[in-house]
Amino acid sequence: MSAKIFPDWKKTRFCSLVKRIVTASFSLLLLTGVAQTQALPKLKIDRNAISVSGLSSGAFMASQLQVAYSSSFMGAGIVAGGPYFCAMGNLTYTGICMGQVPRVPPNPAMLFAAAETSSRIGAIDPLSNLGSKKIYIFSGTADTIVKQSAVDASVQFFKLARVPDSNLAYVSNYPAGHSFVSKVFGNLCPTNATPYINECVNDPPNTANDNNYDQAGAILQFIYGKLNQPAAKPTGKLRAFDQKLYGAANPVSSMADVGHVFIPDSCGKPRANCKLHVSIHGCRQSQQSIGDDWYTKLYLNNWADTNGIIVLYPQVNKSLRRPYNPRGCWDWWGFTGSNYAIKGAVQMDVIMKMIAALGAL
């Protein structure tokens, strides 16, 4: 009877259709990262060699991590970011914190006083730790989104924290728009547009074949000291991992299901003693918005590959419900809760759990 219902040609057609559906479904899983994600591997990492950097909302988050968890981070790269706790939990202050209110810049003295109070009650690590940290800060002269008056205040905050001039680099002479400056990819230097990654010629030009400013190298070498030359093409592995395992399943976090980590081949060896750098994207820069640009085209992986530096790329997505985060920003004004800038804050806690899972804490 089955032969009458399913003649051979129909069987073949049916099987072919099923095969196509299964193949398409598996391909979709691969594209969304669901089939590839896994837990972070536990690696051998020097606990005294953990650093962080970020752009825009990621720069504010990098500052929050450096200040709140100063016992854990040896240095930070802050690209187009204002001072720690600048918005003080109030969305209406964000314009001031971005330098958008004429003649009303952020007040670093007031913000440092607030940080002192948080430190005294143990909500953040002792501010005295900051004096030994390496802080790189960048502001482009063509940045129309986070203007230099806001970034100047970030510099002043760290000066108030007694970070010596030798440990504080402020690069403010490039005509860059609102962007991370990549050596190998991006918009023209003055651009203020997606993907917020630009290329800028050195000022003054260097003698290398490529005169583009290498912000990834500038940040890493200021924090860690002189490093090996970057790889022309990294041979390490870029892996997707499940952020939900570390607290991102909490919808209040606004974090994506999937993050990424770059692991140099040398860091998988038994006697490895690697460094860890956390790279935090800005608003509208997650994989949801710009694909793989942030975690493959900054030139960070090139430096990491030849210097035993693991690079963690956590991800935040847009959210139109609770919390309301329509641009996919990191929380620097309190949309995840009033404790957003102190230890245990939901987004920072997720990142710290990722760092611990990698074996760095």
- Asked if residues 109 and 153 have their Cβ atoms less than 8 Å apart, the reply is no
Residue 146 lies in a domain: yes
In a domain, 140, yes or no: yes
Give the pLDDT band (50/70/90) at residue 210: low
pLDDT of 3 over the 80 cut: no
**Given a cut of 80, is residue 251 above it in pLDDT?**
yes
Residue 138 falls inside a structural domain? yes
Which pLDDT tens digit goes with each residue over 114-145?
Answer: 999 999 999 999 999 999 999 999 999 999 99
Q: Which of 125, 143, 152, 293 is catalytic?
A: 143
- Report the pLDDT averaged over residues 353-360: 96
Which tops the pLDDT comparison, 42 or 4?
42
| Whether 56 is catalytic | yes
Using the predicted structure, report yes or no on whether residue 218 has a pLDDT greater than 60: yes
Domain with 246 in it: 36-172+227-357
Q: Mark out the alpha helices in 241-299 (DSSP H runs).
A: 287-290, 293-296
- Closest to 323 in 3D by CA, of 241, 237, 226, 252: 252
- % pLDDT > 70, the chain: 88
Report the C-alpha gap between 358 and 276 in whole angstroms: 9
196 belongs to a structural domain: no
With a CB cutoff of 8 Å and minimum separation 6, the contacts of 239 are 38, 260, 261, 262, 263
> Does the model's pTM come out above 0.85?
yes
Q: Of these residues, 56, 119, 286, 289, which one is catalytic?
A: 56
- Mark whether 166 is an active-site residue: no
Adjacent-strand bridge partners of 188? 199
Q: What is the mean pLDDT of residues 24-42?
A: 58
Considering the domain boundaries, does residue 265 fall inside one? yes
Q: Which of 125, 139, 149, 178 is catalytic?
A: 178
Q: What is the pLDDT of residues 227-244, one digit of tens each?
A: 999 999 999 999 999 999
Report which residue type is found at 15: C
Q: 277 an active-site residue?
A: no
In a 13 Å sphere around the CA of 316, the CA atoms on its Cβ side amount to: 34
In order, the DSSP letters of 44-110 are -EEEEEEEEEEETHHHHHHHHHHHHTTTT-SEEEEES---TTTTTT-GGGHHHHTT-STT----HHH
pLDDT greater than 60 at residue 15:
no
What is the domain count for the chain?
Answer: 1
pLDDT-based confidence at residue 268 (cuts at 50, 70, 90): confident
DSSP 174: S
Q: What is the pLDDT of residue 36?
A: 60
Greater confidence (54 vs 22) lies with: 54
Q: What mean pLDDT is reported for the chain?
A: 90
Residue 87, in any domain of the structure? yes
Mean pLDDT of 248-263: 96
Cα separation of 67 and 118, whole Å? 11
> In the structure, what pLDDT confidence band is assigned to residue 204 with cuts at 50, 70 and 90?
low
Domain-embedded: residue 20? no
Q: Quick one: which of 346, 196, 179, 190 has its CA closest to 284? A: 196
Is the pLDDT reported for residue 18 higher than 70? no
Does residue 195 lie in a domain region?
no
Asked whether 65 and 73 are in contact (CB, 8 A), the reply is: yes
pLDDT digits (tens, 9 = 90+) for 36-93: 679 999 999 999 999 999 999 999 999 999 999 999 999 999 999 999 999 999 999 9
